[in-house]
Amino acid sequence: SIDGQRLWDSLMAMAEIGPTEHGGSCRLALTPEDAAGRRLLLDWCESLGCTWRVDRVGNLFIRRAGQRDDLEPVAMGSHLDTQPKGGRFDGILGVLAGLEVLRTLADRDIVTERPLVLVVWTNEEGSRFAPAMVASGTYAGAFSVESTLAREDRDGVTFGEALEACGYAGESPVGEPRLDSFFELHIEQGPVLEEEGETIGVVTGVQGMRWFDVTLAGQSAHAGPTPMRYRRDALAAAARLIDRLQAHALGDESGDTKVTCGCLEIVSASRNVVPGDVKLTIDLRHVVENELDALQAYFEGLLNEVGETCGVTVSQERIWASPVVEFASECVAAVERGAREQGLKYRRMMSGAGHDAVYVSRVAPTAMIFVPCRDGISHNEAEYATPEDCAAGTQVLCDAILERANR
């Protein structure tokens, strides 16, 4: 069985790269911190005798040889990038659990039939470069390599430039190696497991999500003499949009409707200027695809209505749509068996967050394992998962990987 203390020590060592004020991590994708995190992992893996390669969008494939190297590898992994004020577990746990599996096998001199691959996917968070999971998406053919390399961060730096600058612009073709299957361990990032007193979430799929860039163009004007009724206040319109969207989502008794405005910017803001131009982002999610369609239609209608009421010209672009995903039943079953055989309390559940597994599931049988996180909090420096839960999830991952690699 895996070594929970060693796993924890690796998590804490990784957290020393890009630490934030309140105990979280800041390793935005393709920054020097991201590169330092990858280097630390590679040092650990090289000392186990693993080999590695990097593809053209920076995805890192770390390989442990099997008895039958002609067979496609069984893969595990997640991401090392974080939010600007992110936690120490989101993504990192899935990668370092994979490392722990490799170390456990090395300790026991176990060589699996199929080779194993530990994958670090680039820019999962979507915080520096939108959308999220863009590099696993490119691997799976959802985005072209060229479009991914051309994506820009807020400062206009392209993904390709950032990749070069941080030293992880690889040469290996995107889409290789092909995988037999993929398993991703992750913190739940929501409150369900903790509340229900369960240790393992057997993830059966992922809710759909859509991202929008919205612009509101009114007219800047003086805050003093401009009568309220004359104003074409882009921020007042944005406020109304956000408030009504919130009310709509809160009104869904099932709790399945999720709306978030994560970024909002006033162009040339000044205290005594009625805002003329506002840009904002909207994130819509639902577990049922046609409910998500309805949510999008509601949002679009509301945006137009608010624009008309406030005398503001509105426009929006859907920059990303990730449909509802169902994972491969044989992989889900392998995870469930692992949890049951370890005697752990578990539940089948959908993921509310996107994960690299979403895209990988398009090209290889895939499943995910969740462990609880404190108060359901994630994308926050305070994110926390107990050493025991991290170890339990890693054990389930190890069991599923071994079953699959030796079948």
Give the pair of three-digit tokens for residue 396.
């389930």
Binding status of residue 5 toward a second copy by CB under 8 A: no
Question: Distance between CA atoms of 295 and 259, rounded to whole angstroms?
Answer: 9
Binding status of residue 224 toward ligand URP by CB under 6 A: yes
Q: At what angle do helices 92-107 and 387-405 cross, to 10 degrees?
A: 60
- Whether 24 and 8 have beta carbons less than 8 Å apart is answered as no
Q: Encode 320-334: b = buried (16+ Cβ within 10 Å), e = exposed.
A: bebebbebeeebbeb
Burial of 74 (0-12, 13-18, 19+ CB in 10 A): buried
Give the pair of three-digit tokens for residue 62.
């770390």
Binding status of residue 58 toward ligand URP by CB under 6 A: no
**x-marked contacts with ligand URP along 143-182 as a string, rule CB under 6 A:** ----------------------------------------
Q: How far is the CB of 389 from ligand URP (least distance, A)?
A: 17
Tokens 């992994």 identify what position? Answer: 77
Footprint of a second copy on 365-394 (CB under 8 A): 376-380
Footprint of ligand URP on 84-103 (CB under 6 A): 90
> Among a second copy, ligand URP, none, what binds residue 240 when CB lies within 5 to 8 Å by partner kind?
a second copy
- Whether 116 and 405 have beta carbons less than 8 Å apart is answered as yes
- H or E stretch including 62? strand 60-64
Q: Which of 354, 365, 372, 393 binds ligand URP (CB under 6 A)?
A: 354
**x-marked contacts with ligand URP along 231-270 as a string, rule CB under 6 A:** ----------------------------------------
* Region of 41-49, 96-104, 134-142, 351-359 interacting with ligand URP (CB under 6 A): 351-359
Question: Distance between CA atoms of 29 and 283, rounded to whole angstroms?
Answer: 20
Footprint of a second copy on 186-225 (CB under 8 A): 188-191, 207, 209, 211, 219-225
* Region of 20-28, 118-126, 227-235, 387-395 interacting with ligand URP (CB under 6 A): 118-126
Footprint of a second copy on 250-289 (CB under 8 A): 250, 252, 255, 257-264, 266, 268-276, 281, 283, 285
Give the pair of three-digit tokens for residue 248.
């709509």
Footprint of a second copy on 35-94 (CB under 8 A): 83-85
Main-chain dihedrals φ then ψ at residue 116, nearest 5 degrees = -115, 145
Give the interface size with ligand URP as a residue count (CB under 6 A): 12
273-274 and 181-187 strand pairing: unpaired
Q: How far is the CB of 209 from a second copy (least distance, A)?
A: 7
> Among ligand URP, a second copy, none, what binds residue 37 when CB lies within 5 to 8 Å by partner kind?
none
Q: Which of 116, 130, 385, 392 binds a second copy (CB under 8 A)?
A: 130
Binding status of residue 353 toward ligand URP by CB under 6 A: yes
Tokens 């309390």 identify what position? Answer: 345
Give the pair of three-digit tokens for residue 167.
């030293």
Which three-class secondary structure state does DSSP give residue 273?
strand
Q: Which of 111, 239, 302, 333 binds a second copy (CB under 8 A)?
A: 239
266: β partners: 278
Q: Residue 165 or residue 192: which is nearer to ligand URP going by CB? A: 192
Q: How many helices (H) and strands (E) does the chain have?
A: 12, 16
Binding status of residue 397 toward a second copy by CB under 8 A: no
Q: How far is the CB of 107 from ligand URP (least distance, A)?
A: 30
Question: Distance between CA atoms of 345 and 389, rounded to whole angstroms?
Answer: 11
- Whether 18 and 29 have beta carbons less than 8 Å apart is answered as no
Q: Which residues bind ligand URP (CB under 6 A)?
A: 90, 124-126, 132, 222-224, 272, 353-355
